[in-house]
Structures are given as structure tokens and as C-alpha cells.
Structure 1
């Protein structure tokens, strides 16, 4: 049992850091580059990128959440629970807040050249930034907990 908590802490931190890194990349590189395109091309690029990123980011967030909570249950400090809940919050935030925008962007028949599509893409970037901040704060807490321990 003595190696269980450190292993859970490592996996929680590693998965959280991978999630945060991917989220940060999207906000500082991929989405700004996409928005440099004309609206139709930006929307066409966004759709497959979003679908691919989902398969990377969702499992990482859930793995970090699960391992962070498990570390706390098995004796790690309360900071592990707080960090786990922060990184885990990206999942319900995505479903409740970002998904309606995703659905509008993916709607069949959407005019991909419209200013509404452009506005939705800009809004999506702002919403995604919330996921980035949540995960960066969580990973900071994880790392601080490792250092202080």
C-alpha cells in the first residue's frame, strides 16, 4: 500500500499535465491560427480538430480526476481532492456550457461563411480557455502538493 498513493499522485499529475498542455496548445496556437483563416475554412478545420481532441482530452481529464480522488481517499491531502475536482470540472463544463456551441457549429446546413459562425468560433475559443485555466490551476496544485509533501 505504501507505493499506491505516490503512483496515484503521479498518474493524476501526469494526466492532468497532458490535458492542460493540450488545452493550452489549442488556446495559444491552434485556435488563433484557425481564426486567421477565412470563416468557412476555420469552421471546416475546427470540426475534425474538435472531434479528435475529444478522444485525447476527455480520457486524460477523467483519469486525472479518478487518480486524484483515489490518492485523497488513500491518504493524500485535501489538495489532491481539490485539484482532482478542478480538472474533473472540465467534463461537466464541456457538456453543460461548451456543447451547445459545439452543436451549433456542427449543425447540418450551417452557413459556414456567416458572421454568426465566426462569432461562434470566437466564443468557443473563450469557453475553451476556461477549461485551460481550470486544468492549469489543478496541475499547479498537484505539483505544489508533490513539492510540499
Structure 2
């Protein structure tokens, strides 16, 4: 990516609306899952817990994945336009959600998705509890990236 091209992409309000805000939306959604959705679903019986987790996972996956890509892209564009290292570090931290999810969370996701609706047990509940703890890592990565982007804007 050339500096001229990056500066063209970086003009106007793109910086504020497409980088820090996108990442803050990702972070807010991730934290919401940890402090509201996950505790609420854990109050359900095992079968309802699994059914709710599957529905929420399917709906949240694309939103969270898209937000990391968009925020990471614009963080990289900001770096190439300004050569300010905080933009690049913020983009790297935000994009770290991908390998973290693939290697740390996906095995649990697959086990839960492969559990038939009527076969939920106490082990299913423990896996969903573990999933919530693992998901908190995504919240932390998002928060760090958001703070880095806000710092870079100063």
C-alpha cells in the first residue's frame, strides 16, 4: 500500500468513524456478551442454555468477525498514512482476535455446535462457562485496541 493511496483513504472523518469507533463497537459487543448475555443464559436449564448459545453464536459470529476486519484494515491504513506506530499496534491487537479465536475458542465452539439439542448435560454447561471465560479474552483484546486507537488520535 503506497503512502499516497493510504493518505487518500485516510482523509476526512474516515479515521474517527471507521477505526476507533468500529473497534469500540466490537469491544462494546464483546463486553456485553460477558457481562449481560452470558450470565443471563447460564440461568437457563441445560437444553435451553445450549439452544440459546447456538443461536447467539451464529448471529454474533459474522458481526464480530467483520468488525475486526474493518477496524484492523483502517488501523493499517492509518499507519501507512501517518507512520504512527500506535495505529499499527492497535490493528495488530484487534486482528489478534482471529488467531486467538481459531486456536483458543474454536475447539470449544465446535464441541458445542456438535452437541445435539436434546443431549445437553452438565458438561455442556461447563463448556459454555469455559467459553465465556475464553470470550473475555476477545473483550480484553478489543479494549486494548480501542485504547491504542484513541491514544493514536491524540
In structure 2, the residue matched to 1:60 is 67
In structure 1, the residue matched to 2:3 is none
User: What CA distance in whole angstroms lies between the structure 1 residues aligned with 2:124 and 2:118?
Assistant: 7
Per the TM alignment, residue 56 of structure 1 is displaced from its structure 2 partner at its CA by 0.9
Task: Tell me, yes or no, if structure 1 residue 4 matches structure 2 residue 37.
Answer: no
Task: Tell me, yes or no, if structure 1 residue 142 matches structure 2 residue 145.
Answer: no
> Is the Cα–Cα contact under 8 Å of residues 47 and 117 in structure 2 kept in the other structure?
no
- For structure 1, which segment, 71-80 or 25-34, has the greater mean C-alpha deviation from structure 2 after superposition? 71-80
> Is the Cα–Cα contact under 8 Å of residues 23 and 68 in structure 2 kept in the other structure?
yes
Q: Secondary structure of 2:126's partner?
A: helix
User: What CA distance in whole angstroms lies between the structure 1 residues aligned with 2:43 and 2:151?
Assistant: 37
In structure 2, the residue matched to 1:38 is 45
- The 1:2–1:144 alpha-carbon spacing in structure 2 relative to 1, beyond 3 Å, is same
Aligned length: 147
User: What CA distance in whole angstroms lies between the structure 2 residues aligned with 1:111 and 1:61?
Assistant: 34
**TM-score, reference length from structure 1:** 0.91
Per the TM alignment, residue 93 of structure 1 is displaced from its structure 2 partner at its CA by 1.1
**Partner deviation per Cα, 1:43-75 (whole Å, 9 max, x = no partner):** 110001001001211100110011101110121
Per the TM alignment, residue 114 of structure 1 is displaced from its structure 2 partner at its CA by 1.2
- Please identify runs of 4+ aligned residues in structure 1 that moved more than 6 A: none
User: What CA distance in whole angstroms lies between the structure 2 residues aligned with 1:113 and 1:3?
Assistant: 49
Q: Secondary structure of 1:74's partner?
A: helix
**Partner deviation per Cα, 1:111-144 (whole Å, 9 max, x = no partner):** 6431210110000000100000000011011112
**TM-score, reference length from structure 2:** 0.88
